[in-house]
Amino acid sequence: MSHWIRAAAAAALLTLLAGCGITAGRGAGFASFAPPPEADRVVGISLGVLPLKLARVVVDDDDPEVAMILKGLRGVRVFVYELDDPVSAEALAPTLATLDRKGWEPVVAVREDGETVHVLLKTDRHDAVRGMVVLAADGRELVMVNLMGRLRPEMFNAYMDDLAIDAPRVSVDST
């Protein structure tokens, strides 16, 4: 009988934890990914509110810029896929079409030396950024990232500088 009680308690605990934001929810900024059918997922990470709050506590004093980014996040999803054949623009087309139908706006598309990167933003009716998607394909690897929450794109300038990426500066009008 104790085996059944333990199983029921574990199921109840998992149900409570799932509702507490351990994994990313399907709220504003959630992106539905459609990886190529021949893709094998090798990494799948989904972090919700609770782990991100814990990360803010740990990072707060060490790196205020990262802490600021974490402050607005409500969810982070990262998926890495391996493919038998190199990733082509056509392989990403169904995912990009799905995101387009759901109101995601492309802001960056780079194709260079066999690498492809797409960045898309989801805004609310007040034009506040609620989600960001990054699709990066390099040879036979495809990375899909979805950030959800209240995002301030101008905060990414320092990271673009650190990575030596020649990209336009992001600024927000205060008008």
Q: Let me know if residue 11 belongs to a domain.
A: no
What are the tens digits of pLDDT across the range 56-106? 777 766 777 777 777 788 888 999 999 888 877 777 888 899 999 999 999
Count of alpha carbons within 13 angstroms of residue 101, beta-carbon side: 9
Q: Let me know if residue 15 belongs to a domain.
A: no
Give 93-126 as a 3 state SS string: HHHHHHHHHCCCEEEEEEEECCEEEEEEEEECCC
Q: Let me know if residue 12 belongs to a domain.
A: no
Query: Which domain range does residue 79 map to?
Result: 21-162
Q: Let me know if residue 5 belongs to a domain.
A: no
| Number of structural domains the chain divides into | 1
pLDDT, position 101: 92
pLDDT, position 26: 65
**Cβ-based neighbours of 70, under 8 Å, separated by 6 or more:** 52, 55, 56, 59
pLDDT, position 63: 72
pLDDT, position 169: 56
pLDDT, position 16: 41
Q: Is residue 8's pLDDT more than 80?
A: no
Q: Is residue 111's pLDDT more than 70?
A: yes
What are the tens digits of pLDDT across the range 134-160? 998 888 899 999 998 888 766 666 555
Q: Let me know if residue 87 belongs to a domain.
A: yes
**CATH assignment at residue 34:** 3.30.310
pLDDT, position 13: 40
- Separation of alpha carbons 139 and 119, rounded Å: 18
